[in-house]
């Protein structure tokens, strides 16, 4: 009675099973906890206690000025002066990396072009060899046929030759193998000249890349970092001396101010 403003005593004669609180309220029990309804057959009023409560969400109030200050701190960005040394190092790193990547790309492109040209030349050389062998076979066959023809003419000499004995028009062999030989000779010369031109056009870097492709790929991958390291070793002492002189000058001015 000290907690609740109103106490309702249930009539045990009536068959009530559920006790449901009003809208937007819940039961808060000592043992069960927070529940939207109570099941009376399982509820023991001697060992447990339940009260009705309105669950209000947690609301935190912030003044208007505090909210504006919070958003201003989130969106504010402090601008800093770009240090010349850092900028130059970043530019050097970008340029060196670009040089290394571009050099590797150019070498790989030329290498692939030369490989494609070599494959085409090899195919043409195989084709030329096959045609030359075919030309030799045809020449041998033509010589054999002409030899047989002369033999048959000798046999049928009394009848006026093989054609007169067969009573047919004579067939003659027209040799065009010379044109084929000239074409194959010209093709061999062009392939040889192309190979010489490709060898003379190849510089020392491409030759080294073709001789050791795995080592060349490794070096070109790290070429940018190597150039940056060389730049640091070359320009590092000068930059360090400038920085040391600048710090000493500032310290001297500070000492003068302290003495005054």
Residue 49: half-sphere exposure toward Cβ, Cα within 13 Å: 5
Adjacent-strand bridge partners of 34: 28
pLDDT (tens digit per residue) in 91-143: 555 555 555 555 555 555 666 667 777 788 888 888 888 888 888 887 888 78
The CATH number of 107-216 is 1.10.287.210
Q: Assess contact for 40 and 15: CB atoms under 8 A.
A: no
The structural domains of the chain, with segments of one domain joined by +, span 18-53, 107-216
| Cα–Cα distance, 213 to 211 (Å, whole number) | 6
- State pTM to two decimals: 0.35
What's the whole-number average pLDDT of the chain?
Answer: 72
| Cα–Cα distance, 100 to 218 (Å, whole number) | 11
Q: CA-CA distances (angstroms) from residue 140 to 91, 104, 133, 137, 175?
A: 73, 54, 11, 5, 12
| Cα–Cα distance, 229 to 223 (Å, whole number) | 10
Asked whether residue 240 carries a pLDDT value surpassing 70, the answer given is yes
């Amino acid at each position: 009675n000290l907690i609740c403003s109103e106490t309702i005593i249930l009539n045990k004669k009536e068959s009530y099973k559920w006790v449901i609180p009003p809208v937007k309220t819940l039961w808060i029990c000592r043992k069960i906890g927070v529940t939207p309804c109570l099941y009376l057959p399982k509820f023991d009023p001697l060992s447990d206690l339940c009260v009705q409560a309105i669950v209000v969400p947690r609301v935190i109030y912030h003044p208007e000025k505090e909210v504006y200050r919070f958003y201003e701190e989130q969106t504010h960005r402090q601008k800093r002066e770009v240090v010349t040394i850092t900028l130059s190092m970043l530019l050097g790193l970008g340029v060196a990396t670009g040089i290394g990547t571009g050099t590797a790309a150019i070498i790989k492109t030329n290498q692939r072009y030369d490989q494609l040209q070599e494959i085409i030349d090899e195919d043409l050389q195989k084709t030329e060899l096959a045609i030359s062998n075919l030309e030799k076979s045809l020449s041998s066959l033509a010589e054999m046929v002409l030899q047989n023809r002369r033999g048959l003419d000798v046999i049928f000499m009394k009848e006026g030759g093989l054609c007169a004995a067969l009573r047919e028009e004579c067939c003659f062999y027209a040799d065009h193998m010379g044109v084929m030989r000239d074409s194959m000779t010209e093709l061999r010369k062009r392939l040889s000249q192309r190979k010489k031109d490709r060898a003379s056009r190849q510089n020392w870097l491409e030759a080294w890349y073709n001789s050791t492709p795995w080592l060349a790929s490794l070096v070109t991958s790290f070429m940018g970092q190597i150039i940056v390291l060389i730049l640091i070793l070359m320009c590092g002492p000068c930059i360090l001396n400038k920085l040391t002189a600048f710090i000493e000058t500032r310290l001297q001015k500070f000492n003068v101010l302290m003495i005054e």
